[in-house]
């Protein structure tokens, strides 16, 4: 009887220990910046996911403010606090080596979310949760090329040049263009993901007298800025085709209104859920995939109501 009691007590203590481990679990999250529209949805979705666990998981969010040094310092602070796992949305995908080394040395699981490090050979204990940006560029440009009848001039609004999301989305666009030799790139410049900057660039090109049939933007915010510049210049809606990426609420609304012809849905909830779920599993020493891919989906006027 005493043996049964001991086993029952042990089972009960393990059950409570497991529950306490989850209730006490703390994950440090360093975001590249808080004042980015899509990253705000990602951050809010991560918080919602953490709160969905039965006992909750505590997230400590930090804003790197687009500063590589600040982000490394935040990760080092997480390590000194002995958090159970770390999630990083990198400021610069080419400058993640020190972050990776610090987490691995401390033995703390590390998840890169949304932006995959340029170094694809990540060590054990480090994983990525992201979407394939090459596909986003291919999808938006293929749709545009068909609507353009395979000919015309385009301008490209690039995101932050320090992000491989910019590089890969643009690479996807240009891969599609190899099939359409009669579509030419008139201009390409960085709008650093900003609506205001996208508007300024397109306004400048119009002022310079540049002619183009379509705007290919690395994100919805710059695409919306482009639409605003064209409207302000008196260009008829739809006469210049505009493509974005993200499927933000404003982006979806712009597709509905016809300001954007097309966007590509980047699933903030999918990436958020994947990153937190992966971090929790790693903290529990459960097996995970080293790369978790969340698919992109094309958004047009015909299917825009499917996205929220």
Name the pLDDT band for 15 (thresholds 50, 70, 90).
very low
User: pLDDT tier at 250 (50, 70, 90 boundaries)?
Assistant: very high
Q: Are residues 238 and 285 in the same domain?
A: no
pLDDT per residue as tens digits for the range 257-298: 999 999 999 999 999 999 999 999 999 999 999 999 999 999
Is 302 inside a domain boundary?
A: no
Q: Are both 116 and 197 inside the same structural domain? A: no
Q: What's the pLDDT score for residue 56?
A: 82
Residues 6 or more apart whose CB falls under 8 angstroms from that of 286 comprise: none
Q: Is the same domain home to 279 and 177? A: no
The residue range of the domain holding 178 is 133-265
Q: Is the model's pLDDT at 150 over the cut of 60?
A: yes
SS3 292: strand
Tokens of 116: 């995959």
> Quick one: pLDDT at residue 21?
55
Measure CA 294 to chain center. Answer: 10
Same domain, 109 and 185: no
Same domain for 217 and 162, yes or no, is yes
Looking at per-residue confidence, does 263 or 16 come out higher?
A: 263
Q: In terms of domains, do 127 and 140 share one? A: no
Does one domain contain both 220 and 113?
A: no
Looking at the predicted structure, is the pLDDT value of residue 14 above 50? Answer: no
Residue with the bigger pLDDT between 8 and 199: it is 199
pLDDT value, residue 9: 33
Residue 189 scores a pLDDT above 90: yes
In the predicted model, what is the mean pLDDT of residues 184-211? 98
Q: Is the pLDDT of residue 3 over 70?
A: no
Give the pLDDT mean for 195-215: 98
pLDDT above 50: residue 16: no
Proportion of the chain above pLDDT 70, given as a percent: 93
Same domain, residue pair 57 and 148: no
Question: In terms of residues, how long is the chain?
Answer: 308
Query: Is 300 a domain residue?
Result: no
Number of other residues whose CB lies within 10 A of the CB of residue 63: 17
Question: Do 126 and 174 share a structural domain?
Answer: no
Tell me the average pLDDT of the chain: 93
Residue 303: inside a domain, yes or no?
no
184 within some domain? yes
At 57-81, the pLDDT tens digits run 999 999 999 999 999 999 999 999 9
Q: Supply the pLDDT for residue 55.
A: 84
Confidence of residue 4 (pLDDT cuts 50, 70, 90): very low
* Residue 11: pLDDT over 90: no
Band of pLDDT at residue 120, cut at 50, 70 and 90: confident
Task: Answer whether residue 28 shows pLDDT above 60.
Answer: yes
Examine residue 308 and state whether it is found in any structural domain, yes or no: no
Interatomic CA distance for residues 197 and 62, integer angstroms:
25
β-pair type (291-293, 126-130): parallel
- In this structure, are 104 and 8 located in the same domain? yes
Span 6-23, average pLDDT? 37
For the cut 90, the answer to whether the pLDDT of residue 220 exceeds it is: yes
Chain-centroid distance of CA 193 in Å reads 12
| Higher-scoring residue by pLDDT: 130, 6 | 130
User: In this predicted structure, what is the pLDDT of residue 23?
Assistant: 60
Q: Is 127 in the same domain as 243?
A: no
Considering the domain architecture, whether residues 20 and 118 belong to the same structural domain is answered as yes
The reply to whether 285 falls in a domain is yes
CATH of the domain at 166: 3.40.50.2300
The answer, yes or no, to whether residue 20 has pLDDT greater than 60, is: no
**154 is a domain residue:** yes
Q: How far apart are CA 19 and CA 146, in angstroms?
A: 55
Stretch 237-254: mean pLDDT: 97
Q: How many domains does the chain have?
A: 2
Residue 155 belongs to a domain: yes
Q: How many helices (DSSP H) and strands (DSSP E) are in the chain?
A: 10, 12
CA separation for the pair 45, 273 (Å, rounded): 7
Interval 132-158 mean pLDDT: 98
Asked if 298 and 139 count as a contact pair (C-beta separation under 8 A), the reply is yes
């Amino acid at each position: 009887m005493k043996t049964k009691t001991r086993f029952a007590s042990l089972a009960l203590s393990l059950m409570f220990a497991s529950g306490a481990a989850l209730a006490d679990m703390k994950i440090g999250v360093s975001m590249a910046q808080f004042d980015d529209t899509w990253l705000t949805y990602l951050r809010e979705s991560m918080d919602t996911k953490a709160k969905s666990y039965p006992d909750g998981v505590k997230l400590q969010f930090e804003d790197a403010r687009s500063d590589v040094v600040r982000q490394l310092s935040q990760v080092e602070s997480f390590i000194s606090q002995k958090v159970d796992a770390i999630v990083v949305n990198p400021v610069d995908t080419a400058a993640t080596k020190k972050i990776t080394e610090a987490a691995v040395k401390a033995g703390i699981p590390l998840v890169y979310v949304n932006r995959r490090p340029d170094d694809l050979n990540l060590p054990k204990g480090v994983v990525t949760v992201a979407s394939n940006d090459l596909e986003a560029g291919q999808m938006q440009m293929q749709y545009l090329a068909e609507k353009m009848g395979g000919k015309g001039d385009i301008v490209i609004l690039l995101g932050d040049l320090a992000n491989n999301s910019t590089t890969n989305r643009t690479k996807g666009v240009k891969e599609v263009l190899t099939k359409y030799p009669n579509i030419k790139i008139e201009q390409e410049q960085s709008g650093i993901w900003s609506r205001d900057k996208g508007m300024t660039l397109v306004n400048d090109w119009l002022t310079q007298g540049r002619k183009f049939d379509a705007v290919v933007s690395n994100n919805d915010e710059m695409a919306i800025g482009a639409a605003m510049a064209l409207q302000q210049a008196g260009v008829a809606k739809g006469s210049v085709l505009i493509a974005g990426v993200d499927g933000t609420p404003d982006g979806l609304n712009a597709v509905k209104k016809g300001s954007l012809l097309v966007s590509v849905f980047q699933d903030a909830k999918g990436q958020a859920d994947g990153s937190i779920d992966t971090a929790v599993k790693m903290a529990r020493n459960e097996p995970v995939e080293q790369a978790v891919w969340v698919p992109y989906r094309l958004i047009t006027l015909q299917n825009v109501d499917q996205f929220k």
